[in-house]
């Protein structure tokens, strides 16, 4: 029940296309859902995050869609660029956790072809 399941494991998208990564969870106590971007040799960096009081959040080309009833959330990258090539992790945590104790998905390796 503490898991976050992420798919696909890898994704290849053409430049200008839309990248979509999905995550699902079981624990209804989860109430913070961030996405992290990780480049090779670097630590994860917060990309965008959402709380369950909204169904969508957009920041530039990055959008999180959240479906509370289905317990799913997804990351959409519009107009994908080669510079977006990285590994993306979804995560979740309940409010009773300390702020930095996140449960991560398995990661999606995104490759954007020029």
Partner 1 sequence: NAGVMQNPRHLVRRRGQEARLRCSPMKGHSHVYWYRQLPEEGLKFMVYLQKENIIDESGMPKERFSAEFPKEGPSILRIQQVVRGDSAAYFCASSPLPTTNEKLFFGSGTQLSVL
- Span interacting with partner 1, options 11-19, 42-50, 59-67, 75-83, rule CB under 8 A: 42-50
Q: Counting contacts by CB under 8 A, is residue 40 touching partner 1?
A: no
CA distance 21 to 23: 7
Strand-by-strand arrangement of the 19-25 sheet:
4-7, 19-25, 72-77, 62-67, 56-59
Q: Counting contacts by CB under 8 A, is residue 54 touching partner 1?
A: no
Which of 19, 44, 66, 80 binds partner 1 (CB under 8 A)? It is 44
| Placement of tokens 């930095």 in the chain | 100
Q: Counting contacts by CB under 8 A, is residue 1 touching partner 1?
A: no
């Amino acid at each position: 029940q503490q898991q976050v399941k992420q798919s696909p494991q890898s994704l290849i998208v053409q430049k200008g296309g839309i990248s979509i990564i999905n995550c699902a969870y079981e624990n209804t106590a989860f109430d913070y859902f961030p996405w992290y971007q990780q480049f090779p040799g670097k630590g994860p960096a917060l990309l965008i995050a959402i709380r369950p009081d909204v169904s969508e959040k957009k920041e530039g080309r990055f959008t999180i869609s959240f479906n509370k009833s289905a317990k799913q959330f997804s990351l959409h990258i519009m107009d994908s660029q080669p510079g977006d090539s990285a590994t993306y992790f979804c995560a979740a945590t309940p409010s009773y956790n300390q702020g930095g104790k996140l449960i991560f998905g398995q990661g999606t390796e995104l490759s954007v072809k020029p």
